[in-house]
Chain A
Amino acid sequence: MPILELKDVTQEFGGLRALNAVNLTVEEKQIFGIIGPNGAGKTTLFNIITGIYVPTQGELLFKNEIINKTPPYTVARMGIARTFQNIRLFNKLSVLDNVKVGSHGVTRAGVFGNMLGLPASRREEKELTEKAQLLLHLVGLYEKRWEYADSLAYGEQRRLEIARALALNPTLLLLDEPAAGMNSSEKVDLMELIHKIRDDKNLTILLVEHDMNLVMNICEQIAVLEYGKKIAEGPPEIVKNNKKVIRSYLGVEA
């Protein structure tokens, strides 16, 4: 069953057509890659899915529900979590608190519960701490849980964004260039991590990435965008050998 469907989605910014009638179907538990040159519209696609932009035209379905005009916080609560290409952490909060905030959409305690320290609020807080610590172990940042988020190295910040996104218990995870700025050993760890979370947490993962090695290795299905248009789609083997893709994106080396 498809978890996410885009039907003829178009996004215009003034005169610029950042996405042009894009169709996309992502199946449950898939690791789906989106590639394409700079400015192709990959991040715009993520911003549409997460409700930051309302598409100019077309239809957006998550678990068969139309989410065209659903605001970002509601999209998050429905189970779509994301990371950002230009890292957006809560810099002056601790690493642990960053992950805890990630759970906001799936927790309930209110202002009075928090202020009065009511039992339900305390219980939730305790569970939250445990869950956040587990996630930090998973991404290898447990030792740094008391640091400010902005004191982490670049690659660590990217992993913290993943932990924060996972705290939402998502069913669909969008990763925008998760390997950018990572060295090759970090990239290997990242690939392992992505496989692991997909299997352990029953996730569907949509991934934008420029590192072809990583994309071809972990994605089961790949869509190629160019100037806002989808020019190819298929499993890595097929996409890798597609003439249009080679010409426009992969270059002579492929």
Chain B
Amino acid sequence: MDSFLAQYIDPYYLRILVLIGINLILALGLNIITGVTGQLSMGHAGFMSIGAYTSAILSMQFGYPYFLSLLAGALMAALFGFLIGIPTLRLEGDYLAMVTIGFAEIIKVFFLNFEPGGKAVGLSGIPQNTTFVIVWVIVLIVIILNARLLRTRMGRAFYAIRENEIAAESCGINTTRLKVLAFTIGSFLGGLGGGLYAHYMYFIRPQDFAFMKSIELLNMVVLGGMGSIPGTILGTTILTLAPEMLRVVAEYRLLFYGALLVILMIFRPNGLLGDIRIYDIKKRFRKKEVETCRS
């Protein structure tokens, strides 16, 4: 299928599309934690690396089939998300951010010294099983499940925690438990994205999952609009394309991200799509209908 597509699409663009897809899975995971539930995580790349290394090692050294190693990587990341979430999610705002940064750094240092992972040199020769079609099928599934979750009971409870924790508790929401749950789901997607990435890149190093990657993912969520799925899709697409399209952006990444955030905070503090909702649009249409009926 991919070789079929390659006849029609330039391999360079195909590659960018695959990277957008992988980033989408990662960012949608982070969106659940930070955008929806409001728990600022600045270490999402840490979960990505757990998924990447776990799945890569399983398929290279233990001969696991591709999908099984992907799943194992995601579950491993989810397990870490769960274990780290329990003590840390009692912390608020800045503290949580610091702990998550610290966690991702510890993971990085661990892999820098991890013999089976090739230490600082990294792992190469990972089977390249990740294809355009696989990535985008998974993206679609993730989006659908995510959208369903966010518009029903548990998703609403996640939003409620972001909006007002005390009020959420008064509605019978066990906020600690649900924060850990959101963290676990988000980490699962982080690990899944990491596994897909490893099996696409052929080669991974601990530096691929450094602080910069976490910030990049966070920016994708913030740019599009915290908690909004269309917003995350838009933010991820823009921020994956930008460094590819504009060399300047690639060279001055840090500067670019900083400037972008400042501009965003001034003009659209809720993100590009953060305060636009489907039913606002529907309502606008409905009003128009009424008006046209009258005239």
A-binding segment of B160-168, B210-218, B237-245: B160-168
Asked if B279 and A90 sit within 8 Å, CB to CB, the answer is: no
**Number of residue pairs spanning A and B whose beta carbons lie under 8 angstroms apart:** 109
Is A155 close to B, CB under 8 A? no
Give A52 to B145 CA distance when docked, in angstroms: 34
* CB within 8 Å for A109 and B154 given contacts A93-B160, A93-B163, A101-B160: yes
Give A168 to B148 CA distance when docked, in angstroms: 23
Asked if B163 and A121 sit within 8 Å, CB to CB, the answer is: no
Determine the residue in chain A with the shortest Cβ distance to B145. Answer: A115
Give A126 to B148 CA distance when docked, in angstroms: 14
Q: Is the interface of B mostly helix, strand, loop or mixed?
A: helix
* Chain B residues, Cβ within 8 Å of A103: 171
Residues of A at the B interface (CB closer than 8 Å) are: 50, 52, 71-73, 76-77, 81-82, 84, 88-94, 97, 100-107, 109-111, 114-117, 121, 124-125, 128, 146, 164-165, 167-168
> How many B residues have CB within 8 A of the partner chain?
31
Residues of B at the A interface (CB closer than 8 Å) are: 145-146, 148-149, 152-157, 159-160, 163-164, 166-175, 181, 185, 275, 277, 279-280, 283
- Show 8 A/B contacts (Cβ-Cβ < 8 Å), sorted by A: A52-B166, A82-B170, A90-B168, A104-B153, A105-B172, A125-B152, A165-B170, A168-B172
* CB within 8 Å for A115 and B149 given contacts A88-B166, A104-B157: yes
Give A167 to B175 CA distance when docked, in angstroms: 18
* Chain A residues, Cβ within 8 Å of B159: 90, 92-93, 97, 101
* CB within 8 Å for A72 and B169 given contacts A109-B154, A115-B145, A146-B279: yes
Which of B160, B166, B175, B280 is the most central at the interface, judged by chain A CB atoms within 10 Å of its CB? B160
Give A93 to B275 CA distance when docked, in angstroms: 10
Determine the residue in chain A with the shortest Cβ distance to B173. Answer: A104
